[in-house]
Structure formats: structure tokens, C-alpha cells
């Protein structure tokens, strides 16, 4: 996986200024869950934003961020469409949007896995639009103090539009952009995110008591738990099970845990 800085070609389309020069580009955010809403203040300085989500009342979001809620057809008609929906909903959303997308529109997904979402977008969207897969390697918890310097993966080959997206993310949002293929992304994320979320969820489920005598390593564990504690079950499933490499990593984890515990004879549960 390459981590070299991107050097877009001179002909690369500018995400900020493509299209009529006198008009700010419009961006629709489809899916306004925790991460979708988190994106709004970071994108609003650069785009006229519309939002769409049928699973929550958007009035408070619109009032807070001064953005407009629209139906899906209107959202699909914007210059750029960011899909922040669960993987299980992506195909239906893409299919419903397809007829309303502008020729030349840019469709960006932010799913935590990349192979399946990009395959769905290739199958469901017209050939006249450009699909770019991204994965922000952060969320509302890890980005609560700002996103400058945080990492984001971009999976879309060498197309002018993917280079434009990467350049915008690096120059305007000041993110650390990593270009990679979808399969390589998923292989690494099965370990990087899969194990993190599994350990965090298991530890959170233990409902640890208040502890004052902590160590530096335990404090790291607590921070990991807090980063994943509020993630949805849908996100956890996507990271652990919908990643094509996820089940393999989970089986390896379970086997390693059994091996580690083999020499340990656990006493029976204490009763009060």
C-alpha cells in the first residue's frame, strides 16, 4: 500500500472549482447518522450542502448547521453525493438514486469496507457518473478535537476524479491521504479495525467497575473502549463480518485465545 504524497496531474479536475466557476458546488449527504452529521461542519465551508435521511428527524440538524433537508431524488441531483449509509442499505439507496444522478456527478462512499460497496456502485450507478470509495480512519470520537492529520483511505485507481478527491482531502481538510486498492484495504482493516472493535466491545460488555489503580497500558485499553462504545451494531457487523477477511481474523483470534488459556485452570465463578 502506497503512503507517498499524491501529485495530481495538471489536468486533474478540481473538486472545489469544477463546473461553472461562479457557482459553489453542491453536495448532498445521504445518511445523517453519527458520522454523517460529524461531516457537516467540515464540508460546509466548501459546498452548498443538502442532507437526506429517512431514519431520523432532520429538523434539529438543519437548524444546528444551517443546511437543507431534501428528498432522495433532489439529493441525487447534486454535483457531489456522499453516501454515509450502512452497507446493508447501500444497494437500495444506489438503485433509487441512479435515475436522478447528473451525468458527470461524483458519488463518494465512506463505508468501513471497500470491496463490496464499490462493486455495488459499479452495478447500480450509470456509467456517466464517477464513483470513488473512501474510508475515513477516524470517527466522531477520535475526531472530536479536529481532523487535521488524521488518516483517510481512497480506493479508486488513478482516475482524474479520484486524484481530485484525494487532493481536496489533503489540501482543504488537511487529512493524511492513503491510496490503496479495495482488496488490500479490506485485508488490512480486518486486523486494524476488526480486532480493535472486537476487543473494545468485549471489554465494554464486561461492565468493568470503577478502577483507580490503573496502569498506562490499561488506560490505553480504556481509550479504545470509549472510541468504539457508541458505534452502532450495524457498523460493528460491517467491520467484523461484512469484511471478506473478517471471519478469518475472528477465527484466528478465537483460536489464539483458546491456546493462551490452555495452561490456565480457571476457578469456578464467585458467588455472593
Let me know how long the chain is: 272
| Res 28: pLDDT | 98
Same domain, 116 and 158: yes
Q: Report yes or no on 270 lying in a domain.
A: no
| Res 43: pLDDT | 97
Q: Does position 228 have pLDDT exceeding 90, yes or no?
A: no
Same domain, 210 and 154: no
What is the rounded distance in angstroms from the CA atom of residue 54 to the CA atom of residue 70? 10
Q: Kind of pairing, strands 151-155 and 130-136?
A: antiparallel
Q: Report yes or no on 169 lying in a domain.
A: yes
| Final residue of a structural domain among 149, 180, 211 | 180
Residue 24 DSSP SS3: coil
Report the DSSP beta bridge partners of residue 82. Answer: 29, 108
| Res 15: pLDDT | 63
Task: Render pLDDT for 144-189 as a digit per residue (tens, 0 to 9).
Answer: 999 999 999 999 766 788 899 999 999 999 999 999 999 999 999 9
User: Domains in the chain: how many in total?
Assistant: 2
Q: Does position 6 have pLDDT exceeding 70, yes or no?
A: no
Share of the chain above pLDDT 70, in %: 90
| Res 160: pLDDT | 83
Residue 202, domain extent = 193-261
Q: Which residue has the cell 443546511?
A: 67
Residue bearing the bigger pLDDT, 7 or 40? 40
User: What DSSP string runs through 39-51?
Assistant: HHHHHTTTSEEEE
Cell reading at 14: 478540481
Same domain, 120 and 164: yes
CATH of the domain at 169: 3.40.50.720
Amino acid at each position: 500500500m502506497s503512503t507517498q504524497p499524491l501529485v495530481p496531474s495538471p489536468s486533474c479536475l478540481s473538486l472545489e472549482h469544477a463546473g461553472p466557476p461562479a457557482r459553489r458546488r453542491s453536495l448532498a449527504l445521504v445518511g445523517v447518522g453519527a458520522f454523517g452529521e460529524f461531516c457537516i461542519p467540515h464540508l460546509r465551508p466548501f459546498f452548498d450542502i443538502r442532507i437526506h435521511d429517512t431514519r431520523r428527524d432532520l429538523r434539529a440538524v438543519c437548524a444546528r448547521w444551517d443546511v437543507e433537508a431534501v428528498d432522495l431524488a433532489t439529493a441525487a441531483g447534486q454535483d457531489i453525493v456522499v453516501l454515509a449509509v450502512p452497507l446493508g442499505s447501500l444497494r437500495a439507496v444506489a438503485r433509487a438514486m441512479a435515475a436522478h444522478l447528473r451525468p458527470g456527478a461524483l458519488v463518494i462512499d465512506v463505508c468501513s469496507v471497500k470491496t463490496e460497496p464499490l462493486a455495488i456502485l459499479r452495478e447500480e450507478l450509470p456509467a456517466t457518473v464517477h464513483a470513488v470509495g473512501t474510508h475515513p480512519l477516524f470517527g466522531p470520537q477520535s475526531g472530536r478535537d479536529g481532523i487535521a492529520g488524521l488518516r483517510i483511505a481512497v480506493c479508486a485507481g488513478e482516475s482524474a476524479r479520484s486524484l481530485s478527491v484525494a487532493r481536496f482531502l489533503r489540501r482543504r481538510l488537511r487529512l493524511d491521504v492513503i491510496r490503496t486498492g479495495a482488496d488490500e484495504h479490506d485485508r488490512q482493516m480486518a486486523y486494524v479495525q476488526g480486532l480493535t472493535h472486537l476487543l473494545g466491545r468485549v471489554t465494554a460488555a464486561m461492565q468493568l467497575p470503577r478502577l483507580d489503580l490503573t496502569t498506562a497500558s490499561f488506560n490505553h485499553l480504556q481509550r479504545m473502549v470509549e472510541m468504539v462504545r457508541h458505534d452502532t451494531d450495524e457498523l460493528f457487523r460491517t467491520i467484523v463480518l461484512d469484511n471478506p477477511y473478517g471471519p478469518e481474523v475472528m477465527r484466528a483470534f478465537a483460536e489464539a485465545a483458546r491456546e493462551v488459556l490452555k495452561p490456565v485452570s480457571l476457578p469456578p465463578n464467585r458467588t455472593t
